[in-house]
Structure 1
Amino acid sequence: MTAMPSSPNRRRALAAGALVLSGALALSACGSSDSSDKDSAGSGKTHVVKTAMGDVKVPVAPERVVVLDTAELDSAITLGVQPVGATHVEASKGFPSYLPKDKVSGIKDVGEMLNPNMEAIAALHPDVILTSKIRHGAKYDQLKQIAPTVMTENTGYPWKENFQVHADALGKQAEAKKAVADYDAHAKKVTTAVGGPEKARATEVNVVRFVEGADIRIYGERTYIATLLKDVGLGRAPISAKAKDGFSYDVSPEKIDLADTDVIFQATYGDPRKAKQTQTTGSGLWKNMKAVKSGNVHTVEDELWIQGIGYTAANKILDEMQADLKN
Structure 2
Amino acid sequence: MISNSLRRRRAAALATVVAGALALTACGSDSDSGTTKEKKDAKAAEKRTLKTVMGDVQVIAEPQRVVVLDTAELDSVMTLGVKPVGTTRTDSATGFPAHLPADQLKDVKLVGEMTTPNLEAIAALKPDLILTSKLRHGDKYAELKKIAPTVMTESTGLPWKENFLVHAEALNKQDEAKKTVADYTAHVAEVTKALGGKEKAAATEVNMVRFVEGADIRIYGKENYIGTVLADVGLGRPAVTDKAEDGFMLNVSPEKINMADADVIFHSTIGDPKKAKATEVLGGPVWKNLAAVKAGKVFSVQDELWIQGIGYSGADKILDELQAALTK
TM-score, normalised to structure 2's length? 0.86
Report the CA distance between 1:246 and its aligned residue. 1.1
Query: Which residue of structure 1 aligns with residue 133 of structure 2?
Result: 132
Amino acid at match of 1:300: V
Cα gap change, 1:277 to 1:115, in 2 (>3 Å): same
Amino acid at match of 2:46: K
Identity %: 64
Distance 2:45 2:251 in 1: 50
Correspondence 1:322 to 2:323: yes
Cα gap change, 1:41 to 1:165, in 2 (>3 Å): farther
Distance 2:112 2:43 in 1: 27
Distance 1:261 1:323 in 2: 18
Query: Which residue of structure 2 aligns with residue 101 of structure 1?
Result: 102
Q: Deviations over 1:245-302 (max 9, x none)?
A: 1110010000000000100000000110000000001110000000000000010000
Correspondence 1:48 to 2:54: no
Instruction: For structure 2, list consecutive stretches of 5 or more residues without a partner in the other structure.
Output: 1-40
Query: Which residue of structure 2 aligns with residue 21 of structure 1?
Result: none
Q: Secondary structure at the match of 1:258?
A: helix
Q: Secondary structure at the match of 1:116?
A: coil
Correspondence 1:298 to 2:313: no
CA contact (8 A) 1:64 1:128 kept: yes
Query: Which residue of structure 2 aligns with residue 80 of structure 1?
Result: 81
Query: Which residue of structure 1 aligns with residue 288 of structure 2?
Result: 287
Report the CA distance between 1:61 and its aligned residue. 0.5
Report the CA distance between 1:41 and its aligned residue. 8.6
Distance 1:235 1:322 in 2: 15
Aligned residues: 288
Query: Which residue of structure 2 aligns with residue 218 of structure 1?
Result: 219
Q: Secondary structure at the match of 2:190?
A: helix
Q: Deviations over 1:158-217 (max 9, x none)?
A: 000000000000010000000000000000100011111110000000000000011000
Distance 1:153 1:44 in 2: 27
CA contact (8 A) 2:132 2:151 kept: yes
Distance 1:131 1:107 in 2: 17
Distance 2:145 2:167 in 1: 16
Distance 1:113 1:91 in 2: 13
Distance 2:113 2:193 in 1: 40
Report the CA distance between 1:46 and its aligned residue. 1.2
More moved, 52-61 vs 293-302: 52-61
Instruction: For structure 1, list consecutive stretches of 5 or more residues without a partner in the other structure.
Output: 1-39
Q: Secondary structure at the match of 1:271?
A: coil
Report the CA distance between 1:49 and its aligned residue. 1.4
Answer 1 or 2: which has greater helix percent: 2
Distance 2:111 2:327 in 1: 41
Q: Secondary structure at the match of 1:221?
A: coil
Larger relative contact order (CA 8 Å, sep ≥ 6): 1
Q: Secondary structure at the match of 1:155?
A: coil
**What is the CA RMSD across the aligned residues, in angstroms?**
1.2
CA contact (8 A) 1:66 1:84 kept: yes
Query: Which residue of structure 1 aligns with residue 274 of structure 2?
Result: 273
TM-score, normalised to structure 1's length? 0.86
CA contact (8 A) 2:92 2:98 kept: no
Query: Which residue of structure 2 aligns with residue 64 of structure 1?
Result: 65
Query: Which residue of structure 1 aligns with residue 16 of structure 2?
Result: none
